[in-house]
Chains A and B, each alone.
Chain A
Amino acid sequence: MASRTNKKYKWALDFSTRRSSQDIASPPGFNPAVGQAHTEASKENDPSHLIIKKSWELALAPLKQVPMNLFIMYMAGNSISPFPIMMVGMLLIRPFKALFTLQSTFKMIEGNHAIMQKLVYFLGNIVGMLLALYKCQSMGLLPSHSSDWLAFIDPPVRLEYSGGGISLA
């Protein structure tokens, strides 16, 4: 930022010093009220507004992904083969990564008024993760059935011992 100050701007909007309209007579047909209205209208370009808008866009991105993900999931099918596995892996890893980089993602948005956005972003990713888990479940990748734990069941200890057979006499 500091280096930028001594460079020449290609263009700049300067809001700090307002040129008074009194210095020069207004051109014919100029209606200051219209300018007023214009500034009113260009409030949308107000930085904080833009930041909020951008941050909401950011926050809602995971949720917007959901229909797409649903479609991918549908297309991938339930068979266990490399491509569906890769897809499911991506579905699962992306929200995870996003959650871990949550702070850095929202760092670019200045101020700490982005709590709602963060929450929505978080929820969106959770939804994405749940979807991925649902997919894993329907593909049978989650150890949710008793059969998945079967290998860990130890053979029961016998309480009684027996032996014998046909009489040897």
Chain B
Amino acid sequence: MKTHYIAVLGFILVSFCNVHILGDKFDFEVDGTVFVRLKHYLSDDGNPEDRGNITIQSIRTGSVALSHAGLAPHHITRLKALAKNDQIYRLQATVVSANNKMVEFFTFMKACGLVESALSDVLTISLDHSGSVVAVSLSAPFVHCQGEIPVDHKLRYFNTTVIVKHMDVGPVPDTATYIQKMEREREARERGDPKDNRSFLAKYWMYIVPLLIFVLLSSAGQPEGGAGGAAPAR
């Protein structure tokens, strides 16, 4: 019935589509698409309701298409109630990979975080070495839950950032660079230290100049001091 209501109000729309890929580029043997269906729980008990869909068009590039249902006013009320009671907002993500395999993931965040960010959440989809989804997690990275609930019309549409996170490539002991460095050092040693054929002045000016200044200063001070010293003798 609720989905029907949403359909009637025509809240389905393609929302902001901020996509990032993190990590070193991990080469997958095969590229593929992943479809994620999102359902959320707007109360502690009860059934999940449709939130929207995400299609990762290419797991290699991480390009994502996003479609979200907005929140109807009574959904907003329920969400705000969750936030007010410091409860959690749960999300169920059904991931359908290229070979039509369905895997369910759960994630959650503090409802206050979602409300106070005005539904600007970040959905991170982590992939493993083979490109299959390992985790879907929800967060609001910059919201501190200080109890400032925005006005209702800001809570109507999701502004979701989807991050497709690849695995980083593990480090390998870097023998090549080290050997090169050793090679260079050995060559340097064999050649001996490079002859420093700058002039004496060029090499040691930083010592000579202050010395000169010192001498000048003290000699400039001399007559004055001499006069001062002579004064009592008069």
What is the interface of chain A, defined by CB distance below 8 A to chain B?
A: 57, 64, 67-68, 71, 74-75
- A-B pairs, top 10 by smallest CB distance, nearest first, are A71-B214, A67-B217, A74-B210, A71-B210, A71-B213, A68-B217, A57-B228, A75-B210, A64-B221, A67-B213
Distance from B227 Cβ to chain A, minimum over Cβ atoms (Å): 11
The docked-state distance in angstroms from the alpha carbon of A67 to that of B213 is 9
The A-contacting residues of B in range 92-145, CB under 8 angstroms, are none
Chain B residues positioned under 8 Å from A64 (CB to CB): 221
Residues of A contacting B221 in the complex (Cβ-Cβ under 8 angstroms): 64
6 contacts between A and B (CB under 8 A): A57-B228, A67-B217, A71-B210, A71-B214, A71-B217, A74-B210
Query: How far apart sit A71 and B214, CA to CA, in the bound complex (Å)?
Result: 7
Chain B interface size, under 10 / 10 to 19 / 20 to 34 / 35 or more:
under 10
Chain A residue at minimal CB-CB distance from B234: A45
CA distance A134 to B210 in the complex (A): 19
A68 vs B210: C-alpha distance when bound (angstroms): 11
Could you tell me the distance between the alpha carbons of A94 and B159 in the complex, rounded to whole angstroms? 65
CB-nearest residue of chain A relative to B211?
A71
Chain B neighbourhood of A57, CB < 8 A: 228
Beyond A68-B217, A71-B210: 9 further Cβ-contacts under 8 Å?
A57-B228, A64-B221, A67-B213, A67-B217, A71-B213, A71-B214, A71-B217, A74-B210, A75-B210
For the complex, give the distance between the alpha carbons of A57 and B228 in Å. 10
List of B residues within 8 angstroms of A67 by Cβ: 213, 217
B213 CB contacts on chain A under 8 angstroms = 67, 71
Q: Which residues of B contact A71 (CB under 8 A)?
A: 210, 213-214, 217
B228 partner residues in chain A, CB cutoff 8 A = 57
A71 closest partner in B (C-beta): B214
Closest to B221 in A: A64
- B191-234 residues at the A interface, CB under 8 angstroms: 210, 213-214, 217, 221, 228
Residues of B close to A68: CB separation below 8 A: 217
Nearest-Cβ distance from residue A34 to partner chain B, whole angstroms? 20
Considering the complex, give the chain B residue whose CB is closest to the CB of A67.
B217
Residues of A within 8 A of B217 (CB): 67-68, 71
Shortest A93–chain B CB gap in Å is 23
Q: How far is the CA of A64 from the CA of B224 in the complex (A)?
A: 12
